[in-house]
Amino acid sequence: MLDIKFICDNPEIVKENIKRKFKDSKLPLVDEVIALYNEKCSANTRANDLRANRNKISKQIGVLMSQGKRDEAEDMKRLVNEQAEELKALEAKEAELSKKVLEIQMKIPNIVDDSVPVGRDDSENVEVEQFGEKTVVDFEIPYHTDIMALFEGIDKESAGKVAGEGFYYLMGDIARLHSAVTAYARDFMIDKGFTYCIPPFMIRSNVVTGVMSFEEMDAMMYKIEGEDLYLIGTSEHSMIGKFIDTITDEQKLPLTLTSYSPCFRKEKGAHGIEERGIYRIHQFEKQEMIVICKPEESMDWFHKMWSYSVELFRSLDIPVRTLECCTGDLADLKVKSYDVEAWSPKQQKYFEVCSCSNLGDAQARRLGIKVKGTDGKKYLAHTLNNTVVAPPRMLIAFLENNLRFDGEKYSVLIPEALRPYMGGKTKIESK
């Protein structure tokens, strides 16, 4: 969310940013919010004048009463009462205008970084770098749920009866792999100096609107009926919310945390081969990383964070690449974003497994996350987030890239880094 004073002082910059994101339908919001803010300021000025006048008249009434001039004092009291009614109306108007200004502010996109490539949608995202040789095998790789079925590791049919489409049971070695990957990712981030955290899995509406745009909220979040609570779509939501209305001493920055949580998403509009199986589901588990830092350090942290994901995936023998999201593919709060994509030897293409985002001070402004500098002045922090791993997508990439077939049996190789979490196993074999 942009500062309203920045919008008023730089309307053309804000409009040009909207055009770069190909969201021209939002252009009228700039002039609308400026007009409403100016109207609010005028109401505030008049209200302040009335308050000052009320104090002045109150003193005059006291003087007149002490002088025995009751009639003149009563005239002054009537004037105070008339102005009190006007002040009451102005305060109500000011509150309504403030609400409208904030609503529009939250719809205006954040200013994207100058380095972000201009493009309409994800088809115009730009590859940054590839890591690792693409996996090549001499047998046909089954679809990922079929791989799991070879190891008696998945039951979607029962899950459909219990919870409906978009859910699954993981079983046996596949379930153990899932937990092993999550535990390994946790320890990987702890070794990077991040503090491990298990957050609340539900958050209030003020936190939801603090961490995401209205469009994302509608598409993703499950609301708890009768409660001011939402199921989190990612632990970033409650992790950033942890710092709502806080002031942190500058010397304590950066704050680096890694969190585990289940995640719940509506996943509207899912379709195609990638959307079948367990690629897009309503419930999954995730290891996340977040950083809260000084503004001048946020880009350095952005590059560190996505590089951690690359390092982790490569340690599990999974080829990956980084893809920079173009302007049209950035959510409204984001300044810059990279996707880390894993190679799918089955589909012969990369698919998203991590998303690293720098949100500048947008979330901090919405949630009141402030920093106290050494000079005593307060300023807004910058917030960043990135997926460490998110089974089942990560599990799909792991199984496809580590699958082997000897002509009779399938097996999955366990990379050295993961073996301590799999009881020392070097592979698992199909039943």
Q: Answer yes or no: is pLDDT of 317 > 50.
A: yes
273 confidence band (pLDDT: 50, 70, 90):
very low
- pLDDT of 268 reads 53
Asked if 410 contacts 404 with a C-beta cutoff of 8 angstroms, the reply is: yes
Mean residue pLDDT of the chain comes to: 92
Domain boundaries, the chain: 4-105, 122-429
Distance CA 397, CA 344 (A): 6
- pLDDT of 275 reads 52
CATH code for 122-429? 3.30.930.10
Q: What is the pLDDT of residues 74-108, one digit of tens each?
A: 666 777 777 788 888 899 999 999 999 999 999 99
Q: Answer yes or no: is pLDDT of 271 > 50.
A: no
H or E segment at 341? strand 336-344
Angle at 306 between CA 300 and CA 311, to 5 degrees: 120
- Tell me the mean pLDDT in the region 174-184: 96
Q: Answer yes or no: is pLDDT of 276 > 70.
A: no
CB atoms within 10 A of CB 118: 13
Residues contacting 197, CB < 8 A, separation 6+? 239, 257, 258, 259, 260
Q: Answer yes or no: is pLDDT of 270 > 50.
A: no
Per-position DSSP letters for 106-124, written without gaps between them: TTSPPPPPTTSPP-SSGGG
Q: What is the pLDDT of residues 108-132, one digit of tens each?
A: 999 999 999 999 999 999 999 999 9
Proportion of the chain above pLDDT 70, given as a percent:
95
Residue 309 φ/ψ, nearest 5 degrees: -65, -45
- Tell me the mean pLDDT in the region 305-332: 97
Q: Answer yes or no: is pLDDT of 358 > 60.
A: yes
- Tell me the mean pLDDT in the region 58-74: 70
Distance CA 186, CA 63 (A): 73
277 confidence band (pLDDT: 50, 70, 90):
confident
Distances (CA, A) of 268 to 222, 279, 352: 12, 13, 17
Going by CATH, does the domain composed of 4-105 fall within 1.10.287.40? yes
Strand partners, 258: 196, 289
Task: Let me know if 218 is exposed, middle or buried by CB neighbors in 10 A (0-12, 13-18, 19+).
Answer: exposed
269-283, 322-336, 360-374: least confidently modelled range: 269-283
Residue 327 half-sphere exposure toward CB, CA atoms < 13 A? 21
Please indicate whether residue 213 or residue 294 has the higher confidence score (pLDDT). Answer: 294
Asked if 282 contacts 166 with a C-beta cutoff of 8 angstroms, the reply is: yes
Distance CA 337, CA 258 (A): 19
Nearest to 131 by CA among 267, 278, 356, 310: 310
**Domain 4-105 shares a fold with domain 122-429:** no
Q: Answer yes or no: is pLDDT of 55 > 80.
A: no
For the record, the structure tokens of 33 come out as 């919010």
